A = this chain, B = another copy of it.
């Protein structure tokens, strides 16, 4: 192969991680910078290039690089821009692909982080060989990447797959950062888990280890308590999985995927979250799909997943 490598970069709210990846998903080298340290986008691009260009040289030079894939919140596949991201330092429309093509010298493809995870899963992970699946990312928020007929669903404008913002509770739903109420992500993100735990502590008298936590309860606290047998903490995961499974049943009615693949920190809770999710999905799905849709955990390793996912964009 003339060009055996691609560059993957994940632009997170805190860190920007970039690496050089081969066709099997091996990461040759990886490095990172602090996203928030660069209020000017031009400085940010220069800082990435200053670290990335020597890595490319070490891999054999720019002629070995087929392209660069970038995952960023509100990254738009069609335009190559970041458009009005809420958690990155650059406001408005940021010409992400254009500026990195100039700085690095290879074609650049952009998408959002959840779509990048889905492409990574299809290229290197649990969705290898699948033509129809949905990747759900359970992190600070809930994101999704939808694959239909082997293609990422970008929709008319490049922003398809915002399944964290379907409405799970139309009555008395939780306030979401998007301005609406009852979004799936207010319940099934790491933040949502912490929120459920706080509600149980505040609104019930149920005894729980969660009552002993000083400061804000985190999803990690809930996990630790649940693993120590705390009933209230286990109930938090059951509640979370039930709402998630109900939503997944509706997603199946949309695109009839072969599998739904869960990705991100919450999946570390294992059966605590997977069991109620699967139960609720099976209980709520239309009968023609009962027992048919696989519920899987991502096979992308956590530390590498974002870079791998973004890099996979560059093969296409």
A contacts, CB < 8 Å to B = 84, 131-132, 146, 148-149, 151, 153-163, 165-167, 169-171, 178-180, 246, 249-251, 253-258, 284, 286-289, 292-293
Contact of A166 among B132, B155, B179, B250 (CB under 8 A): B250
Contacts of A131 in B (CB 8 A): 156
Tell me if A256 and B159 are in contact (CB < 8 A).
Answer: yes
- A-B contacts, 19 of them at CB < 8 A, read A84-B288, A132-B156, A132-B160, A146-B255, A148-B155, A149-B149, A155-B256, A156-B256, A156-B258, A157-B292, A159-B288, A161-B256, A163-B254, A166-B253, A167-B249, A167-B250, A169-B170, A180-B286, A254-B255
- Given A167-B284, A284-B167; A161-B250 close (CB under 8 Å): no
Contacts of A250 in B (CB 8 A): 166-167, 250
Tell me if B254 and A154 are in contact (CB < 8 A).
Answer: no
State in angstroms the CA–CA spacing of A306 and B211 once bound together: 61
Contacts of A84 in B (CB 8 A): 288
**Chain B residue nearest to A130 in the complex (CB):** B156
State in angstroms the CA–CA spacing of A180 and B282 once bound together: 12
**Chain B residue nearest to A167 in the complex (CB):** B250
Tell me if A160 and B254 are in contact (CB < 8 A).
Answer: yes
State in angstroms the CA–CA spacing of A144 and B241 once bound together: 28
